[in-house]
Structure 1
Amino acid sequence: MDYQTHTLKNSEIGFRGPKIASLKKSEYFVCVGAAQTFGCFCEKPYPTLLQEKLQKPVLNFGVGGAGPSFFLLHDELLKYINNAKFVIVQVMSGRSENNALFNTLAGAGGILTKNSDGSMTTADDAYHHLLESEFRKWHLPFRKTIGLLGQKKAKKIVAESRSNWVNNYKKLLTEIKVPKILFWFSKRKPDYKEKYTDVNKLFGEFPQLVNKQMVEQIKQFSDKYVECISYQGSPQLLSSRFTGKPITIDNSKIHKIFTSKFTHNSYYPSPEMNEDAAKLLEPICQKFL
């Protein structure tokens, strides 16, 4: 898929296009978020659909793996955000936050650096090993005890990541001076109960690690809050834009640390989910035009 990526003045980040003609004050709106806002495997993500519905250009500031800290680190983007008519801020993942064990790659990218030795790993692998602990060689009774200790340590790390996430969202939303819509876009409701038995039950569906309590803490820093909970059209069969035939995506071509291959998109929002998002957002956006 051709995402028509482009850069902006004073920024080296590649944003999804098409590039808009004018950046005059209040003549466009901005969508801030992660890959769900970028629109992976989607010809028309919700920012583009809203652009068509509202007849107003959009800057799509969706960056894969981003959390709130990414946009605080790249403060050159704030001038574009605060020059807009209004801003939609996606509720992003909590696994993109720094903590005592891991450091994210510039606040985005889905890759963590271990503070202990500087090696890189995925968030899934990092938290999986944290839960399992490093003492897998021991017999079951002792491994069970060590596993409980690992869960205790994991709870401390998760609490730290969540606290950093909330604080960074408060900072980001405070820095945004124009009207802002906080946007929950997921297959699940914010209210979920994590389990420390495996990484998937700990994270939950995107946005990973984020629960209702966290959302409630940051909602007051936005002007409006919108929830879109949808799984329409997921999983999405992936096909070539040239031939129309089914294709296989090899994630190792992005970075050797990723090993998955897939023929269906079951993670990122499908085109139908993006349509649901745009329908819910449109009437709220109209209030700020």
Structure 2
Amino acid sequence: MTFEHAGAGALDYLPCQYGTSKLVFRGPGRHLDRDYALFIGGTETYGKFIPRPFPSLVEEMTGIPSINFGCVNAGIDAFAQDATVIARARRARVIVLQVMGAQYVSNCFYSVHPRRNDRFITAHEPLRRLFPSVDFTEFNFIGHVLSALERRSPRRFDLVVRALQKTWSHRMATILHHMARPAVLLWLEEGPDHAHGFVTPAMMSELRPIAAAMIQVRCEEAAAQDNGGMVFTPFEATAAVGLPNAATHLRVAQDLSAVINDLSARGALKR
């Protein structure tokens, strides 16, 4: 396990790495071999700007030690091919897997950065043929690419969305199979359209049979609330907009703890 200098930010996230993984997770690092809950997810699971994110709160509420494998700007691709993540997952009592956006997966139309999945790497030939007038060298982020494509042609853009959804569904089913432990899917709904990450209730229903449980928390209210309990510098204020505040993290932790305690009472957790 290695640790990184936190820098001059308002919060010290105690960033750390495990094993051979190149991913940087939120600390503190935990030396646990088994009997832990593993939280896998993106910026929300990491708890950006939150002193005590929901993985830490769940540990307090359930008594099960937690390891936070939240990673800023990650999608499912960041974890699906990471041997350290899969190995840790296979030793966990329970896994909480955040539902991350379908736009952050490499697919037949484009590739994303292997760790910073919000970063656009390259457009593949099918996408160039579908949008021949678009100069893809102008883009660095997936969100900008997709917004531009939708403005150019909603009809052709829908073909891209369908490919993202198909790839995402396959990737999610694959990682759940590889982890081979009870997994709670955490779907943080943040609002309409792209904020959902193109994940639909039908896609979630397809995963339900291979998950131990599924929790859906509506977070769109957090964007309209004040940033109570969040810690950031003036320079970070824009980045904090729309992220779950401390009250939302508490609500997520309460819902997760209830489900995990129920699974434990029914003998569904691994040891």
TM (norm. structure 2) is: 0.81
What does residue 156 of structure 1 align with? Answer: 159
Stretches of structure 2 that go unaligned for 5 or more consecutive residues are: 1-10, 125-134
Distance in structure 1 (CA, Å) of the matches to 2:103 and 2:246? 25
What does residue 24 of structure 1 align with? Answer: 33
1:127 aligned onto 2:122: no
Which is higher, the Rg of structure 1 or of structure 2? 1
Q: Deviations over 1:209-247 (max 9, x none)?
A: 111111111122101111122334734279767xxxx61
Distance in structure 2 (CA, Å) of the matches to 1:94 and 1:217? 15
Alignment of 1:105-120 (within 5 A): 105-106=113-114, 108-115=116-123, 119=137, 120=139
Shift of 1:263: 4.5
Shift of 1:76: 2.5
Q: Deviations over 1:59-105 (max 9, x none)?
A: 11111222222211213211111111111111111110223432110
Alignment of 1:65-214 (within 5 A): 65-106=73-114, 108-115=116-123, 119=137, 120-133=139-152, 150-188=153-191, 201=193, 203=194, 205=195, 207-214=196-203
1:229 aligned onto 2:229: no
Distance in structure 2 (CA, Å) of the matches to 1:239 and 1:86? 28
Q: Deviations over 1:24-78 (max 9, x none)?
A: 222x110011111011111111101111112222111111222222211213211
* Corresponding residue SS for 1:228: strand
Distance in structure 2 (CA, Å) of the matches to 1:78 and 1:52? 25
Shift of 1:130: 1.0
What does residue 195 of structure 1 align with? Answer: none
Q: % of aligned pairs identical?
A: 18
Distance in structure 1 (CA, Å) of the matches to 2:95 and 2:241? 27
What does residue 268 of structure 1 align with? Answer: 243
Q: Aligned AA for 1:131?
A: E
Shift of 1:174: 0.9
* Corresponding residue SS for 2:185: strand
Shift of 1:2: 0.7
Q: Considering only aligned residues, what root-mean-square deviation do their CA atoms show, in Å?
A: 2.3
Q: Aligned AA for 1:78?
A: I
Q: Tell me: CA distance 1:279–1:104, structure 2 relative to 1, closer, same or farther (3 Å).
A: same
What does residue 4 of structure 1 align with? Answer: 14
Q: Aligned AA for 2:64?
A: K
Contact 1:235 1:266 in 2 (8 A): no
Stretches of structure 1 that go unaligned for 5 or more consecutive residues are: 134-149, 193-200, 250-261
Q: Deviations over 1:130-181 (max 9, x none)?
A: 1233xxxxxxxxxxxxxxxx22211111100010000000101111212111
Contact 2:51 2:231 in 1 (8 A): no
Q: Tell me: CA distance 1:30–1:151, structure 2 relative to 1, closer, same or farther (3 Å).
A: same
Q: Tell me: CA distance 1:271–1:240, structure 2 relative to 1, closer, same or farther (3 Å).
A: closer
* Corresponding residue SS for 2:16: coil
Q: Tell me: CA distance 1:281–1:91, structure 2 relative to 1, closer, same or farther (3 Å).
A: same
* Corresponding residue SS for 1:220: helix
Count how many residue pairs are aligned between Structure 1 and Structure 2: 241
Distance in structure 2 (CA, Å) of the matches to 1:184 and 1:280? 12
Distance in structure 2 (CA, Å) of the matches to 1:264 and 1:99? 27
Contact 2:190 2:218 in 1 (8 A): yes
Distance in structure 2 (CA, Å) of the matches to 1:238 and 1:25? 32
